[in-house]
Chains A and B, each alone.
Chain A
Amino acid sequence: EPEVTQTPSHQVTQMGQEVILRCVPISNHLYFYWYRQILGQKVEFLVSFYNNEISEKSEIFDDQFSVERPDGSNFTLKIRSTKLEDSAMYFCASNPGRQELKNIQYFGAGTRLSVL
């Protein structure tokens, strides 16, 4: 079964450093998402991406965050200058864009980001 893959599974970084979290969505999917989950808290939407541009973003997704789909395969989340409070699990998800699967998102296993 096709799956969303995320790398690395765990990223440790120093405060102020830039990190790039990588995702390979399911082939032929058209909508891409990033969510985060701080330990012990709920899953929160960060950003959605369609047709090579951001279609919606949350208040969390400030100027420190950016997303890219550089090569038609990878979908990346960059945090320019990490803060301690960016420590969380980051989940990538994708959707095929078909009406009958409109609300179904397929999640990757996540990247655990630890900012020290």
Chain B
Amino acid sequence: RKEVEQDPGPFNVPEGATVAFNCTYSNSASQSFFWYRQDCRKEPKLLMSVYSSGNEDGRFTAQLNRASQYISLLIRDSKLSDSATYLCVTPTGFQKLVFGTGTRLLVSP
């Protein structure tokens, strides 16, 4: 089983829509999770951390469900500029980041 699994999408949504992605992880001992955003042929950029209590940053909300071993990202009021690939990431200490394959989001006018 892959360490981190994501639905590759694409998710096609109109501007203003609410969209949610899930990501499942296999290692129940994993402590930290992140959502990164990657634009086409660009570097991954940290979007937000995922805490057990949930984490909200403007239009973005991240949740962690340890019992079911998944994390989620909710984007409200989608903008055209939200079109990107969203990467689910779990780190292993200082050593490495483990990336999911990413979920592609396309926001249309």
Contact = CB atoms under 8 A, between A and B. Distances in A.
Of B34, B96, B99, B102, most A-chain CB atoms within 10 Å: B96
Contacts of B42: 109-110
A104 to B, nearest CB: 7
Contacts of B87: 42-43
Nearest to A92: B43
B45 A97 contact: no
A105 B97 contact: yes
B95 A48 contact: yes
Given A56-B95, A103-B32, A103-B34, A42 B100 contact: yes
Most chain A CB within a 10 A radius of its CB, from B44, B98, B100: B44
B91 interface: yes
A31 B94 CA distance: 8
Contacts of B94: 31, 48, 50, 55, 95, 97, 102
Given A42-B101, A56-B95, 20 more contacts: A31-B94, A33-B96, A35-B97, A42-B99, A42-B100, A43-B87, A43-B99, A44-B99, A55-B94, A89-B41, A91-B44, A97-B94, A102-B93, A103-B34, A105-B91, A105-B97, A109-B42, A110-B41, A110-B42, A112-B41
Interface of A: 31, 33, 35, 41-45, 48, 50, 55-56, 58, 89, 91, 93, 95, 97, 102-105, 107-110, 112
18 contacts: A41-B101, A42-B87, A42-B99, A42-B100, A42-B101, A42-B102, A43-B38, A43-B97, A48-B94, A48-B95, A55-B95, A56-B95, A103-B32, A103-B34, A103-B91, A103-B93, A103-B97, A112-B41
